A and B are shown apart, each in its own frame.
Chain A
Amino acid sequence: MKDILIDLRQISKVYDTDKVPVHALRNVDLQINHNEYVSIMGPSGSGKSTLMNIIGCLDTPSEGSYLLEGAEVHTMDDNTLARIRNKKIGFVFQTFNLLPRASALHNVELPLIYSGLSSQERKKRAEEALDRVKLSHRKDHNPNELSGGQRQRVAIARALVNDPSLLLADEPTGNLDSETGADIMKLFDELHNNGNTILMVTHEEHIAAHAKRTIHILDGQIAQDKGVE
């Protein structure tokens, strides 16, 4: 049975720069179902991050419609988008984007603070999430006391802590050596096996190979979409 999570129709994104407008995305149509494991590939500047940001509700399209679990994201105001980011989306970045002066545990707790959970509940869930990425023993360390791979695990725990419908990862292994990258990918595979929907940007073939479906982007357009069920 098909259970549509993301439904993009004719999505375009134009950046109004000083000189010429940049068409980062052009008329993108894309559907992703629950429990899919999708990778996005494409050359630098092709619009991968722009697409991820729109899907992750960090950015809004210039044109087109975006339904997330049936809700019309393209008509939402800032507050509603923030709530969607908080509850339905877990975002993992290439540069981790952890708060440098907060412990791993506090970093993972952050989304729960914005959901208004009590501190015991937060602690319990954040510890569970850290457990899932096998970092419980490091929960009191600040990011600068952790290795790159460990930082990315903290970031993944933070992305998972609110049980989002969708896990987005923009080049999650881009700042890691290949061995550590492989560990992170093993973690993603596990998460997918446990029922998480994953959408991941990469430009490395062997990373993309973990996904069941690979989308190629070129000049802001979908050039190829392999492995659609």
Chain B
Amino acid sequence: MLAWLIKLKENIMIAVKALKQHKMRSVLTTLGIIIGVLTVVSVASIISGLNKGFKDKLSFLGSNTLYIQKYPWMTHGEWYKYRNRPDLTMNNYEYLRDHTNSEQVVIAPSVSSHREVKFDGNSLTDVPINGVTKESEIVSNMVIDEGRFFTNLEIDRRKNRVVIGYAIKEKLFENKDPIGIRIRIDGNSFYVIGVMEKKGKFLGNNFDINAYIPVGSFFKNFGYHRSISIEAKVMDAANLKPVKEKLRYLMRFARGLKPGVEDNFSINQQETIQQQYDSLTSGLYTAAIGIGTLALLVGGIGIMNIMLVSVTERQKEIGIRKSIGATNRIISFQFLVESIIICSLGGMIALLLSYFVAIGIQAVTPFPASIPLWSIFMGLGFSWFVGIFFGLYPAHQAAKLDPIESLHYE
């Protein structure tokens, strides 16, 4: 064991010496390995960044929530087809609400518009104002931090009351208690009755800059002519499919669609995006592994070629080493170590570069790119594999050289 370690150390030193002697050649040789490992690791880091962002984003869309809307989330380049669909109305919403069981599915309308919000000289522009009902609290998982949510009466009476997001409290009121204060939204005055719990930022969106008012008040102040979304939270995930079918049936009925006529609305759900996303990322992975494998193959053949050259160049050295007692196994081990070192060098350069790629991605996109640990091991593993696989043949050629012939080689 100790003897092997001693020989391994000697072999590593021989390899390092040989690489130093042919710096340029070594770097060129590792190019294929670098490209291969870089491709795989970079794509893995991009996708892991995407995944992280996507999962967070997706978690804002409840997995049990159905989104009944004018447009489908995933179109196949036929966007114009959906433009002529009639708007979704409050009547549609009320029809659905009145014909479903709220223990099974809770339904809320969703409508929003960006408006200016003012208080005491401070103002915020482009604040999303959302029209809500009592049900929105359940459907959108709203949690109140201070004050309270709307009562049924406030909703029905279309009161000018507002629940504000945490960031609005911070920015408009400079953290003073806003409850009971009057603010202006697009010039109309509203009483603040509650503050939402802090939600945080994601992908450049600050979810805490949002204000919520009764849906009736929304239409009264900002106009009736707009298409709404209807959000339906299914209480038991197992019921998602039948509830979706039921809602579809009710919607068709509410919108007077005859049998055989296509739906003029879409029922969207998180799953649709997830599927689309999964097929996109698995496509990317496949492409990366394809390109990576090809580059590693080319790199590997390059390594084999260079190692064969190296064996020939060092035939005399091999002869000398054999004449003083190096076994065939030691000689082949020596060249294998050299090939592995070249490849690990390439792998490590690639990992270093992919670190910069990750930083670059983070800088130019909103995605939190990261290098997943498994991709580092995979990158190093790949380069080791290439080093061993393509180093075996040259190592074998070196080992089987005849000592006397090699000694006479000039």
Q: Chain A: residues with CB nearer than 8 A to chain B? A: 53, 56, 58-59, 78-79, 82-83, 85-87, 91, 93, 97-99, 101, 110-111, 113-119, 158, 162
Q: Which residues of B contact A115 (CB under 8 A)?
A: 3, 325
Shortest B349–chain A CB gap in Å is 25
* The 9 A-B residue pairs with the shortest CB-CB distance in the complex, in nearest-first order: A86-B325, A116-B3, A82-B327, A114-B325, A111-B324, A85-B325, A113-B10, A97-B320, A58-B403
Q: Which residues of A contact B115 (CB under 8 A)?
A: none
Interface string of B323-340 (1 = CB under 8 A from A): 111111110000000000
A116 touches B6 (CB 8 A): yes
B203 to chain A minimum Cβ distance, whole angstroms, is 57
Question: Chain B binding site: helix, strand, loop or mixed by DSSP?
Answer: helix
20 additional contacts (CB under 8 A) given A56-B323, A58-B404: A58-B323, A59-B404, A78-B327, A79-B329, A82-B325, A82-B327, A82-B328, A85-B323, A85-B325, A93-B407, A97-B407, A114-B321, A114-B324, A114-B330, A116-B3, A116-B4, A118-B2, A119-B6, A158-B324, A162-B325
**CB closest chain-A residue, reference B11:** A113
Query: Complex: how many Å from CA A118 to CA B3?
Result: 8
Please pick, from A79, A114, A158, the residue contacting B328 in the complex, using a CB distance under 8 A.
A79
Judged by a CB distance under 8 angstroms, whether B7 is at the interface is: yes
Closest CB-CB distance, B160 to chain A, in whole Å?
87
For residue A12, give the distance in angstroms from its CB to the closest CB of chain B.
Answer: 17
Number of A-B contacts (CB under 8 A): 68
Is B59's beta carbon under 8 Å from chain A?
no
Q: Which residues of B contact A (CB under 8 A)?
A: 2-4, 6-7, 10, 17, 21, 316-317, 319-330, 403-404, 407
Residues of B within 8 A of A93 (CB): 407
- Once A58-B403, A79-B328, A114-B330 are accepted as A-B contacts, the answer to whether A97 and B6 lie under 8 Å apart by CB is no
Report B-chain residues with C-beta under 8 Å of the C-beta of A116: 2-4, 6-7
Assuming A113-B6, A119-B6, is B317 touching A99 (CB within 8 A)? yes
Q: Given the known inter-chain contacts A79-B329, A83-B327, please indicate yes or no for A117 contacting B322, CB distance below 8 A.
A: no
